[in-house]
Amino acid sequence: MAQTLIAVVGAGVAEAEGMAQAEVVGQLIASQGWVLICGGLGGVMAAACRGGKLAGGQTIGILPGPDPNAANPWVDIAIATGLGEARNTIIAQAAAGLIAVGGEFGTLSEIAFALKLGKPVIGLGTWQLYRQNKLDRTIQVAQDAEMAVALLKALV
């Protein structure tokens, strides 16, 4: 049976705290025996992949451009799509669940697609979504990397 893919989504440029969290998330994903899937570039994506490799796991990068060498050095399998930002939809579709660490508008698009597709999304310092001034609680909020992975484990 094919392996369980878990996405880590977050900004290509991130601050130290988010980077540290993403690295631990990557380690814990690998420890679960899950394969880490992400956008394959820098920032949170690179930190998560580095964590995954440190813990002996496997990492996949779904790249926007045509060149697999654009992947960060901790990506094992670089899938160059040439689809631009639309590659975000593939990450959300392919993953059994997502952990969002911080993030900008690209991350928000991955969260939104995952929610649309009914995938579990765990947030770690990421977007909060309100409708009519009321918080939408579909994103489950974690306080740290351990809690994020524990919450996701209960859902996939």
- 132 touches a copy of itself by CB under 8 A: yes
Largest CA distance in the chain: 45
Q: How far is the CB of 117 from a copy of itself (least distance, A)?
A: 7
| Residue 80 bridge partners (DSSP) | 63
Positive or negative, the Cα torsion across 143, 58, 51, 56? positive
Q: Among residues 35 and 122, whose Cβ is nearest to a copy of itself?
A: 35
* Closer by beta carbon to a copy of itself, 31 or else 68: 68
Cβ neighbors of 112 (< 8 A, separation 6 or more) are none
Distances (CA, A) of 153 to 4, 6, 145: 11, 10, 12
Q: Contacting a copy of itself (CB under 8 A), which of 25, 30, 45, 75? A: 75
Residue that has been written with the tokens 């160059």 in this structure? 80
**Spatial separation of the C-alpha atoms in residues 152 and 59, rounded to whole Å:** 18
Q: Which residues in the 19-58 window bind a copy of itself by CB under 8 A?
A: 35, 37
Among 15, 93, 144, 155, contact with a copy of itself (rule: CB under 8 A)? 93
Count the residues of the shown chain that bind a copy of itself, applying the rule CB under 8 A: 53
- Chain contacts with a copy of itself (rule: CB under 8 A): 1-3, 5, 35, 37, 60-62, 66, 68-69, 71, 73, 75-86, 88-90, 93-94, 96, 104-106, 108-109, 111-113, 115-117, 125-133, 138
